[in-house]
Structure 1
Amino acid sequence: MLIVMSAPTAPPRVLTIAGSDSGGGAGIQADLKTMLALGVHGMSALTAITAQNSVGVQNFWPLPIEAVEQQFRSVVDDIGVDAVKTGMLASPELTSAVARLIGTLDPRIPVVVDPVSVSKHGDPLLAPEALDALRDELLPRATVVTPNLDEVRLITGLDVRGEDEMASAAEALLVLGPRWVLVKGGHLAAEPESVDLLVGSDGTSEWLRAPRHDNRHTHGTGCTLASAIASRLALGDDVPSAVRAAKEYVTGGIAAGFPLGAGIGPVDHGWRWR
């Protein structure tokens, strides 16, 4: 009997535009691990190279704009893309260039912007003068923006100190043009849960809560969450469903985070397989 095998079909395609983490816990390394774990094909356009490990970022070097542009066009023009995630953009020039590139895509392609400004160890990853380009050029093109509370303060000037102030922060970010804002409350250590607030430009809002795990190995949580949202959007979820699934995935990764080096270890991107 002749058995005819059907040709395999490609999974959804997700492009991360972000910096490299030489320690493997955050940046494009975390993005691609997340995408693999969630069943999509991950692709990358590298924006910067960092020298970093579990104790901090020792240095970083932005790539030339031409290099970022050619990576983007090489991937998009041949392979195509079903969702985009942005991470570390480093400079105003790179931020503007990435905003322009995203503007060439079909507007139906979801874009998740993780406004990476400061590392887990407090090291700056975005030049202060790049904030205007982030506000004026990139955020209006975002389907979802995912700031933590430090990034909320840098972008809006609002210092959120409690859960009751998160809604005001989300509204201030919506004014800048994204369709959805996910304010991450993980830095509110006094809260018994890890609580995030998702707000849409249509007035929709939803609180997302998860238990806090007694684990300091949380390097890469922001990159992982944003990449998980982009992956779920590429798979066909609407935004609230994608955010819920991503929150569940990153919570499991935090619970399974492991020590690595002398400082803060990474979340475990493969926790579902172990």
Structure 2
Amino acid sequence: MTPNPPPRVLTIAGSDSGGGAGIQADLKTMLALGTHGMSVIAAVTAQNSLGVQGYWELTPEAVRAQLDSVLDDIGAQAVKTGMLASTALVETVAERLATVGAPVVVDPVGVSKHGDSLLAPDAVTAVRSALLPVATVVTPNLYEVEQLTGIKVADESGLREAAEAVKALGPTWVLIKGGHLPGDPVDLLFDGTTEHRFTAPRHDNRHTHGTGCTLASAIASHLALGSDVPTAVTKAKAYVTGAIAAGFPLGAGIGPVDHNWQR
């Protein structure tokens, strides 16, 4: 008997040489959750537990060729975007994704966990105008909310205003990640009418490299597996919370979450 292939999920992001975030985290997450991960590499980073020492973006032609190769032959039940680096790459990816019928999860990566910039300043406009309108779900952290909208969230009461401002840019759903607020983390999922709030314990663990990539990839994986958006976010949050709790030291800086914590 010929086995049925698992649901296919495509990540379009940067490569993390340290293995904790980016393409590497995305593919580990997809495998752990029972999907087949595929990749379009948009940039290559020199990166370790201490930070990002440099990055080099691929050409739009190289990114478009990878997209066409995967989507024209294999297809995808969901797509996740991460580090896209430049205006040209954001526009290239957005143009192609507008033709894809699968849900798109956009992680609007602006900086690394260590504070290193991963997006050219002039590319923020392209993210707003081209990428967010094709997103099924966008998952900004509070820094990225401020970068996209100018709104600075100081406490949980500001999450709704932030969600409304990001929603106005065109995505179907917005997930505002409140992990950098004081107290236990609260995330807000919003579709313009209904909001869902997600809470989780704050683990005493500094090894959290790759959490944003992992969450977005987990959401995409559960969408590919057939969940609706609120259910996919609920399941993805549970997976990431476990991965953070199991995070481990690696190198001299911030270690990664454990993508295989459910083993």
Same-fold call, TM cutoff 0.5: yes
Q: CA RMSD in A?
A: 0.5
The residue that corresponds to 1:271 in the other structure is 261
State how far apart, in whole Å, the 1-side matches of 2:201 and 2:100 are. Answer: 38
1:141 and 2:105 aligned: no
Shift of 1:204: 1.2
Shift of 1:105: 1.2
Q: Normalized against structure 2, the TM-score is what?
A: 0.99
1:210 and 2:205 aligned: no
The residue that corresponds to 1:197 in the other structure is 188
State how far apart, in whole Å, the 2-side matches of 1:113 and 1:80 are. Answer: 18
Secondary structure, aligned partner of 1:211 = coil
Shift of 1:181: 0.2
Shift of 1:194: 1.4
The residue that corresponds to 1:53 in the other structure is 48
Per-residue CA distance 1:79-117 (angstroms, 9 max, x = gap): 1111000000000010011000101212xx100000000
Q: Normalized against structure 1, the TM-score is what?
A: 0.95
State how far apart, in whole Å, the 2-side matches of 1:54 and 1:242 are. Answer: 29
Secondary structure, aligned partner of 1:29 = helix
Query: Counterpart amino acid of 1:78?
Result: D
Secondary structure, aligned partner of 1:271 = coil
Query: Unaligned stretches of 5+ in structure 2?
Result: none
State how far apart, in whole Å, the 2-side matches of 1:268 and 1:187 are. Answer: 20
1:1-274 → structure 2 map (5 Å cutoff): 6-106=1-101, 109-188=102-181, 190-191=182-183, 193-201=184-192, 203-273=193-263
Secondary structure, aligned partner of 1:134 = helix
State how far apart, in whole Å, the 2-side matches of 1:97 and 1:7 are. Answer: 36
Give the count of matched residue pairs: 263
State how far apart, in whole Å, the 2-side matches of 1:105 and 1:260 are. Answer: 38
Query: Counterpart amino acid of 1:262?
Result: A
Per-residue CA distance 1:216-270 (angstroms, 9 max, x = gap): 0000000000000000000000000000000000000000000000000000000
Query: Unaligned stretches of 5+ in structure 1?
Result: 1-5
State how far apart, in whole Å, the 2-side matches of 1:78 and 1:179 are. Answer: 27
Q: Report % sequence identity.
A: 68
Shift of 1:153: 0.5
